[in-house]
Structure 1
Amino acid sequence: MSGERVYSVDGAAATPAVPISLAEAGLRERDDLQEWVVAHPEILGENVMILTFEFDRWQTSSGARQLDRFDVLGLDPDGRLVVAELKRDKAPDTVEMQAIKYAALASRFTDEDLVDAHARFLVRDGGAPDPEVALQRIQDHAGDLDPELLQEPRIVLVAGAFPPIVTSTVHWLKRMGIDVTLQAVQAYRVRDGQTVISVSQLYPLPELEDLLISPQRAQESERRTTRKREGSTVVRLVRSGEIADGTPLVLQPTTEVGAEARQAITRWVEEDPTRGRATWRNDRSAPVVWEANGLAARPTAIVRQILEELGIERSVRGPSWWILPDGKTLTDAAGSGPVGTFDRDSLHAILAALPAGRWTSYGDLAGVVGTGGMALG
């Protein structure tokens, strides 16, 4: 690749390696490049696990087979799919469009589809697929998969070179929130006649990404962390069947927002009590049905809509906002209960206002500040 220097070293002597194309090296796209990626998935990103390759088991709703086949499908530790498109030498001008099509197809995968595909991949040299083994490998790598996060695959394009129109388009896609990475593969002929291969991230520049951070990137990171935690909570609840379909839920704002925001939410709900009510259903992708408008979605999605209605911008853990008839939150019922930051201002104001010698209970304080009855200090 341009600007890269590779040398064959023998003691104090350094001989420049000669850059050649993969075609000149006698290497092929499917038999060589694809096999390297499958054997070394770190080419697609840190700690990526290969789920399958050359997947072509697509069909329409009417049962007609689709001929599309993407090269490699991986899974990162956060439970996000990685769609890789490989080109032996210079990528065509439309390679990113092809990858977007494959990513759109991959976004339709359910966790059952992925288990089936990975089971087939594990026995590609013969044998009967074992879904239990495949499921265990996936869970060991990424935990319980979040159906919502599976709808947002990231894209990795691997090629010998990329035309300017591709890098320009990828840069624009990145700005629009679509995660695309360019990996450049370069072959070299060294002194003894052997071929060596380098793989370098061309875009985004890793050094620049490590040095820079923006509010948008920070918010996106926080959002993904919240969704992964929420996904684990929902999956555990649906899998256990502990909450029956139709169980009523009541909205209770948490201290993830300040006292003024909680009061605004309370007043807004009082204007229309259906805004503070919902029901549970054992559906991983949309387990909460909001009574206000019939919206079926994830707990956080509904809470986020409520906050947007009131002009409040805050990343929250939705399962902690919905209370079951026994007083537990969805988070409590799932047995997770992550500890977040607590806005102590209102609590300290109440404590300061209490006359000396006057007693109150943790339960009474909890009802005012919007948390569980526990010692907060």
Structure 2
Amino acid sequence: MIFIVSQDLRSVEKTSQISFANLNLWERQHIEEWIRKAPDILGEDLLVVSAEFDRFSGSQDRLDVLAVDRQGNLVVVEIKRDPYAGYADLQAIRYAAMVSAMTVEKLAPHYLNYLEKYVRKDRVTLEEAKNQIVEFVEAEDFEELTTKPRIILCSEGFSLEITTTVLWLRQCGVDISCIQFTPYQVEGKIVIVPTKVIPLQTAEQYQVDIQKKQEERARQGGGPRRRPTLQILIEKGLIKGGEKILLKSYLPSHIKYKESDPTFSGVLVVTPGQSCKVRWDKDQQEYAISTLTWRIFRDLHPEKKDPGGVNGNWHWTLESGDNLWDLAEEALGRQERI
């Protein structure tokens, strides 16, 4: 949140964040333009070399923003308006793979087109465009772009599924980060607060936790896979058939929990020999917990977007407020997320 202090320093007013959807702001028309015109909004010095890059052989995909950093890396910037961006990580990885073979020689014509379209009205030569790229890179021994493009995901927020995937990719050596854009409306103007949410200290702790898990499994010779969350809770006597559960944990920013709304509640159905289901209060039908969560997230999105992979156990709680996934982790005697 933002606090506005009066000029006489006597009053302070809190300004709550608002959503891009409520402001009627869009990825390509607005957010992409901000990044293109002021790339340092991403927290570093970047040279934008193309926008809406679509020069992929055999593909009609469009990369939002393509840039070069001071170290000579290509930077793929993937923009999503809200946290309900299913497969944003996979999409960005695909773009990074497609441009990984790009050389300065191949990039220069695209940068020339970008300069002529957005930056300079006077004629720029291909050699000048190439020199601008080379001169931007600070490395003294720079000769060629690296073959491992960096990835920056930009959004109003990020789902737990996206952040978990990004953290895992970083552990595997992929240079991928998440920049959160938080919009506010202040005195008739829109204020954007950019925050790098990954990597942060929490990400470093995640890496430590993963390393501990790997070491533990190595000592145990691999060990069995974790059983389904609801199965663990039933076996441990922590839940039972007929128990009410609520959809209120780690919700996307555009979804607000409403206590009286049957959309956000259901009853556990336990049938011996079968997977535990959830009887949804809204239609009294039975669903697998992740299937139901996926449907609700999709239906409540303003544009009915596919939320991608969803682990329902992260989002449902008991009436006590205990998150199902966390409760199962505690029952197993560990506090790690995968």
State the TM-score bracket (shorter-chain normalisation): 0.5 to 0.7
How many angstroms does 1:127 deviate by? 6.2
Q: Secondary structure at the match of 2:20?
A: coil
- 1:278-326 Cα shifts (integer Å, max 9, x gaps): xxxxxxxxxxxxxxxxxxxxxxxxxxxxxxxxxxxxxxxxxxxxxxxxx
8 Å contact kept, 1:111–1:145: no
TM-score, with length taken from structure 2: 0.55
TM-score, with length taken from structure 1: 0.50
Cα distance in 2 between the residues matched to 1:58 and 1:127: 28
- Alignment counterpart, residue 92 of structure 2, candidates 91, 99, 103: 99
Shift of the 208–88 alpha-carbon distance from structure 1 to 2, 3 Å rule, reads closer
Unaligned runs of 5+ in 2: 208-338
CA RMSD of aligned residues (A): 2.3
8 Å contact kept, 2:63–2:95: yes
How many angstroms does 1:194 deviate by? 2.9
Structure 1 residue ranges (4+ consecutive) displaced by more than 6 angstroms after TM superposition: 206-209
How many angstroms does 1:186 deviate by? 0.9
- 1:221-267 Cα shifts (integer Å, max 9, x gaps): xxxxxxxxxxxxxxxxxxxxxxxxxxxxxxxxxxxxxxxxxxxxxxx
8 Å contact kept, 2:5–2:11: yes
Cα distance in 1 between the residues matched to 2:59 and 2:167: 30
Give the aligned residue type for 1:8.
I
Cα distance in 1 between the residues matched to 2:166 and 2:69: 21
Shift of the 206–37 alpha-carbon distance from structure 1 to 2, 3 Å rule, reads farther
- Alignment counterpart, residue 31 of structure 2, candidates 33, 41, 46: 33
Q: Secondary structure at the match of 2:110?
A: helix
Equivalent in the alignment of 1:138? 133
Cα distance in 2 between the residues matched to 1:49 and 1:30: 19
Equivalent in the alignment of 2:195? 200
Give the aligned residue type for 2:17.
P
Equivalent in the alignment of 2:163? 167
Q: Secondary structure at the match of 2:17?
A: strand
- 1:316-340 Cα shifts (integer Å, max 9, x gaps): xxxxxxxxxxxxxxxxxxxxxxxxx
Give the aligned residue type for 2:59.
Q
Cα distance in 2 between the residues matched to 1:152 and 1:87: 23
Where do 1:1-377 residues align within 5 Å? 5-10=1-6, 11-59=9-57, 65-125=58-118, 130-142=125-137, 145-147=142-144, 149-190=145-186, 192-205=187-200
Bigger Rg, structure 1 or 2: 1
Cα distance in 1 between the residues matched to 2:15 and 2:23: 13
How many angstroms does 1:146 deviate by? 4.3
Shift of the 173–188 alpha-carbon distance from structure 1 to 2, 3 Å rule, reads same
Equivalent in the alignment of 2:271? none
Unaligned runs of 5+ in 1: 60-64, 213-377
- 1:12-58 Cα shifts (integer Å, max 9, x gaps): 21111121111212222112111111122123342211111111112
